[in-house]
Amino acid sequence: MVQSLVTGGTGFVGSHLVRTLVEAGHEVTVLVRETSDPYLISGLPYTSVIGDITDFQSMDDVIPDDIDIFFHNAARMTVWGAQKRFWPQNVEGTKNALEIARKRDIPTFVYTSTSVVYGFQDNNDPIPEDCPQNAKNIYARSKKEAEQLVWNYQKEYGMHTTAIRPPLVLGRGDEQAGPIMRDLMQNNKWFYFAGAHAPVSVAHAEDVARCLLEAASHIQVSNGKAYNVVSFDVVWRDFCERLAQELGIVKKFPSIPYSMAYGLSSLSCAVYKAFNKKEPPMRVFTPFYVKLFGRGFVLDGTKAMEEIEYKPKWDLESTVKDVATCKCDYRAR
């Protein structure tokens, strides 16, 4: 039986990964912090060990020696906050994970990266994996640096490493994008940027998990490579209108011109940061989201399909229904 270790296994994507691995017949060990709430993976057969990716010794003390695949999924994921909030987990945590894998001679290391490492391009042509990276916000820069560590260990120590880069991730267990959208729509606070007529790539969390498994299963091909993972592309306004319909909302949402939205979001965020607010205005009113949903962001996902046999299971209709009906955990399945 394949022995898999997962960091971040109690979170959104990580919980889907744990479930996917269990269903594939893996024996799964999940590294959890003492404060972690494992409700998303409750009822699944797995072994938990208590440790923290920012504390190498705590990991070294508890991670088994017989691991076959190390799935490093833990990270601080937000576009808001100071550098000191991201580097310990995203960069130093990844270095600790890689060092554990090197020390134990773990055969395969799979890293959950992000498509925000590309930054925003000048057009909406699908972005391939070899596109020059232009990471702007602190989260993107931390993930870019962490991913570079993955490639450094592959080259310097001969480790078998691979990474996937998801775009906007939605689905059951999400406590960010989906619930925020539902809340704003149901409370008549939702609006579009520049009409939301631009296309956006979306990945369902279960598809992300399946792509992670495929990358690991095809490590002889995927070694040293990153893969975009996409479930489908959609004009953002179409997604929102379908979601509103699924929620029983008939009201048409207003739109803010792009230049006005970008300027107001920049100003609002500056004020919020000056007052040390923990979240951005309305949780999504940032320059990053204005660009994402106002100008669009599309990935080229063909490489994963051709090289590691990834096939998306989720489409627009099924994902909209999942976002509309989920209770942010697997217990609603």
So which residues are the catalytic ones? 139
The encoded tokens of residue 71 equal 């799935």
Are the C-beta atoms of 71 and 107 separated by less than 8 Å? no
Is the torsion defined by CA of 260, 263, 267, 268 positive or negative?
positive
Burial track 122-139 (b if 16+ CB lie within 10 A, e otherwise): eeeebbebebeeebebbb
- The Cα-based distances of 203 to 21, 27, 56, 149, 315 in angstroms read 18, 26, 32, 25, 9
The Cα–Cα gap between 29 and 158 comes to 24
Are the C-beta atoms of 117 and 90 separated by less than 8 Å? no
Cα angle 300, 306, 308 (rounded to 5 degrees) comes to 105
Is the torsion defined by CA of 245, 248, 254, 258 positive or negative?
negative
Is the torsion defined by CA of 59, 60, 63, 67 positive or negative?
positive
The Cα–Cα gap between 282 and 261 comes to 13
Are the C-beta atoms of 269 and 280 separated by less than 8 Å? yes
The Cα–Cα gap between 30 and 8 comes to 8
Are the C-beta atoms of 228 and 127 separated by less than 8 Å? yes
The Cα–Cα gap between 51 and 192 comes to 42
